[in-house]
Chain A
Amino acid sequence: MTKTSDRSIQVVRCGFMALVQDQGRFGFQELGVSVSGAADKEALDVGNILVGNLPGSAALEVMLGDFEIEFIESMMFALTGAETEARLDDVPVGRNLSYKAHAGSRLSLSNVGQGLRAYISVQGGIDTPIILGSRSTHITSGIGGFEGRALRPGDVLKVGRPELGDEYLSRCWGGGESPTDELNVRVVLGPQDDEFSESGIETFLSSVYVVSDQSNRQGLRLEGSAIESRNGRYDIVSDAVVNGSIQVPGDGKPIILLSDRQTTGGYLKIATVASVDIPRLGQASPGNRITFSSVSVEESQQLFIERQDKLSSSINELVGDQFFLRVSDTDISVGMAVSGSAEIVVLDGIAYPIIVDEFIPD
C-alpha cells in the first residue's frame, strides 16, 4: 500500500452538523442548482493556504463544535473559523495555524466560543466525488459532499494527495479577527431599493436587527423594525438572487440569503451584502445584533480587493524563539510559540501541539 493512496480521516463523533464544503458549485444555477459552499469562505481560504492546498479544496464545516475525527494517516491540518476548544489527543490546539497530526491521533472540537462554524482543513483536501464541478454538500437537494448528506460517526473520508508535497511547512495567519456578537454589515443598495419608500430605506439603515433562531445555511432571518415598501407590495415575479442578497418579504423583516440559497426568489431585494462582509454572516448566531451601512459598488469592490491582498500577505511561516527541549535526556533545539491558549513546538518548521510540564530557563 502506497503512502498516498490511503490517506483518509474517520468521523468519530458528530454533534450538531458537519458538512464537506468547498468554494461552491458554480455554473449550474440556470438549471436551478444551488451554489452552496462554505458559509465562511474566508475561513475556508485561510485553512487551505495554511495546509498548502489549492483554493478550491474542500474542508469540513463543523457547526457548534462537539465533533471528533481520527487521522488514519499522518497529515497536516488547520482549524479556522469559530473559536472552539480543540484538542489533538488531549493536547490543546489553536486556531489559524497548521499542525502535523500523527496517524491514529484524534482531533476533537467542543464548546464553541465566538462564532458558529469551525473549519478543519487537511493537507490534500477532503476528496469526496466532484458532483457538477464541486464537492460542496447541498443537503436539501442531496447533492455533493459525502453521499449528499451531513456527516455521521463512522464515515471515512478520503483525503487527496498533497499539492505541494510532504515538505510543506507550518504556517500561521496573523490577520484573523475573532467573530463578534455585534456586526456592522456593509451593503450595496439594490437591485430593487427604488421599490422601497424613503422611510423604508431609513429604517433599514438605522435599525438594529437580531438574528432569529430560524436561520440556517440558506439564510439569516432577522427580527426588528419592518421595512416599508413603496406601494405596500413585496412580491415580485421571480428574479435571480446572489450570496448576500437581502430580500424583504411581506412582513417587512429582512432575510439575508447565504450559501444554500435557492437560485431565484420572489421578494423585493433592498440591498446586497459587500463580499468582504459575507463570511462574517456565516459566523452569525441567533441573538447576534446586526446593523447595516450603505457603501457604493466601487467602495465594496475596493474593500474586497484590499481584503484579498491582506489575506495572502498575512500568512507566514512560523518564527518562534529557540529553546532546548529535553526528551529522554536528549536536548533538541526547537522553536516554541503560543497560539491563543495553546502551546506549540516547532520541529524542522512543522508545528505540533504540546503540553509543557515544566519550563526551566537557562
Chain B
Amino acid sequence: MRELKSRIWPSWFLVSRKLKSEPEGQRFPRVVPAGDSAILIELGSEVDPEISSMVFALTDLIKDAGLNSDLEILPTYRSVLVYYDPLVCSYAEMFDAVNDAVEGLVEPINVNNSLKIVEIPVVYGGDDGPDLHFVADHAGITEDTVIELHSGTDYRVYMLGFSPGFPYLGGLDERIAAPRLKTPRVLVPAGSVGIAESQTGVYPNAGPGGWRIIGRTSVTLFDVNSSTPSLITPATKVRFIPVGQHD
C-alpha cells in the first residue's frame, strides 16, 4: 500500500495550487482506503474555491469513467469518496482506476461558471430571522447592510450534509461572519437561513441547530417524493433574494 501511495502526480497540480513551497501542499492529492468498500481522494485540507472546483471536476471524471455500475460518489469540501463493492473489484483495481481519473484533471479547472443559479426568496429579520440583530451588532453595521451583503453574492455549494438537502455555502462576506450559538436551538423552523463563522446555509427541514438565523424562506428545499429531491445540489449556485413577506 505504501508504494502505491507514492505515485507521481502531474507537476502542474502542485504548481497550480501555489502550494509547492508549503509542506502541507506536498501531501495532496492522495488516494487512500476508507475501509474495504470505499476509496478516498483527498485534494486538500482547507475550504478553498479552487480545491472545491477540483473536487467537482474529479467527481464528474469518475462518474464518466463508469468504474462500477452501482457506485456512489460523495464529493465534500476537499475530497471525493468513491464506494465500490469488494466482491466485484479489489482495492488495487480501484486505486488504479481512480488514479487515472485524477490524472485526467486538466488545467484550467473552471467548472463553476456555467452552474445553474437557484434563487431563494428570503424574509430577513423579525420572527423569521431572530439573530439578524445579533449579526448586525457583531459586525457593527445596520441590519439592512447585513441583508444587502448576504443577498449580494452568488454562493458556491461546497457540499450537502448535516441533514438531507442542507447546503454548505461558501463565499459569505467576511464582514457578516458570526459565531455559532453557544447552545443550539432545539427547533429551527424549516427554511431558516443561517450563518456559522464564514459559512451560510439553509435548513431544509425543521430540527435542532446552532447557526445564527437571519431569515427564512418558504421554498421547499427537499422533497423525498421527488426523483430530484434536493432543489440545491452540488451542481448549483445559490442566490438569496430579499422579499417582504412569504408567498
In the complex, B131 has a CB within 8 A of chain A: no
Q: Decide if A274 touches B35 in the complex (CB within 8 Å).
A: yes
Q: Decide if B45 touches A143 in the complex (CB within 8 Å).
A: no
Given contacts A238-B77, A240-B81, contact A141 B34 (CB under 8 A): no
Please report which residues of chain A, range 251-280, place their CB below 8 angstroms from some CB of chain B when the two chains form the complex: 262-264, 269, 272-275
In the complex, A175 has a CB within 8 A of chain B: no
Q: Decide if B47 touches A32 in the complex (CB within 8 Å).
A: no
Please report which residues of chain B, range 216-245, place their CB below 8 angstroms from some CB of chain A when the two chains form the complex: 222, 224-225, 229-230, 233-234
In the complex, A207 has a CB within 8 A of chain B: no
In the complex, B186 has a CB within 8 A of chain A: no
Complex CA distance for A300 and B32, rounded to whole angstroms: 14
Q: Which residues of A contact B107 (CB under 8 A)?
A: none
Q: Which residues of B contact A300 (CB under 8 A)?
A: 35-36, 86
Please report which residues of chain A, range 287-319, place their CB below 8 angstroms from some CB of chain B when the two chains form the complex: 296-298, 300-301, 304-305, 308
Distance (whole angstroms) from the CB of B244 to the closest CB of chain A: 30
Q: Decide if B72 touches A29 in the complex (CB within 8 Å).
A: yes
Distance (whole angstroms) from the CB of B232 to the closest CB of chain A: 9
Between A and B, how many residue pairs show CB distances below 8 Å? 141
In the complex, A202 has a CB within 8 A of chain B: no
The size class of the interface chain B forms with chain A is 35 or more
Q: Decide if B34 touches A242 in the complex (CB within 8 Å).
A: yes
| Interface residues of B, dominant DSSP | loop
Scan A106-147; emit 1 where CB is below 8 A from any B CB, else 0.
000000000000000000000000011000000011110000
Q: Which residues of A contact B163 (CB under 8 A)?
A: 32, 140-141, 262
Q: Decide if A191 touches B32 in the complex (CB within 8 Å).
A: yes
Q: Decide if A301 touches B72 in the complex (CB within 8 Å).
A: no
Q: Across the two chains, which residue of chain A brings its CB closest to B37? A: A275
Stretch at the interface among B9-17, B113-121, B134-142, B154-162: B154-162
Q: Which residues of A contact B207 (CB under 8 A)?
A: 140
Complex CA distance for A272 and B40, rounded to whole angstroms: 12
Given contacts A238-B76, A242-B81, contact A131 B224 (CB under 8 A): yes
Q: Decide if B164 touches A32 in the complex (CB within 8 Å).
A: yes
In the complex, B28 has a CB within 8 A of chain A: no
**Which of A31, A143, A188, A244 is B160 in contact with, Cβ under 8 Å?**
A31
Given contacts A31-B164, A238-B168, contact A190 B33 (CB under 8 A): yes
Given contacts A188-B35, A296-B1, A305-B87, contact A239 B78 (CB under 8 A): yes
Q: Decide if B161 touches A264 in the complex (CB within 8 Å).
A: yes
In the complex, B128 has a CB within 8 A of chain A: no
Q: Which residues of A contact B165 (CB under 8 A)?
A: 31-32
In the complex, B205 has a CB within 8 A of chain A: yes
Please report which residues of chain B, range 14-37, place their CB below 8 angstroms from some CB of chain A when the two chains form the complex: 32-37
In the complex, A27 has a CB within 8 A of chain B: yes
Q: Decide if A29 touches B47 in the complex (CB within 8 Å).
A: no
Q: Decide if B33 touches A188 in the complex (CB within 8 Å).
A: yes
Q: Which residues of B contact A238 (CB under 8 A)?
A: 76-77, 159, 161, 168
Q: Decide if A275 touches B79 in the complex (CB within 8 Å).
A: no
**Which of A141, A191, A237 is B33 in contact with, Cβ under 8 Å?**
A191
Q: Decide if A262 touches B162 in the complex (CB within 8 Å).
A: yes
Q: Which residues of B contact A269 (CB under 8 A)?
A: 34
Q: Which residues of A contact B37 (CB under 8 A)?
A: 242, 275, 304
Complex CA distance for A93 and B63, rounded to whole angstroms: 48
Given contacts A190-B33, A262-B161, A274-B36, contact A308 B87 (CB under 8 A): yes
26 contacts between A and B (CB under 8 A): A30-B72, A30-B73, A30-B234, A31-B233, A32-B164, A32-B165, A32-B166, A33-B229, A140-B163, A188-B33, A191-B33, A191-B40, A237-B46, A238-B77, A240-B74, A242-B83, A264-B76, A264-B162, A272-B35, A272-B36, A274-B35, A301-B36, A301-B90, A304-B86, A304-B87, A305-B86
Shortest beta-carbon contacts, A-B, top 9: A272-B35, A240-B81, A300-B36, A264-B161, A32-B160, A301-B86, A297-B33, A31-B230, A240-B74
| Additional A-B contacts beyond A191-B34, A242-B37, A272-B38 (19; CB < 8 A) | A26-B70, A30-B160, A31-B222, A32-B162, A131-B224, A132-B224, A140-B163, A141-B163, A188-B35, A188-B36, A190-B32, A238-B161, A240-B38, A262-B162, A272-B34, A275-B36, A297-B36, A301-B90, A305-B86
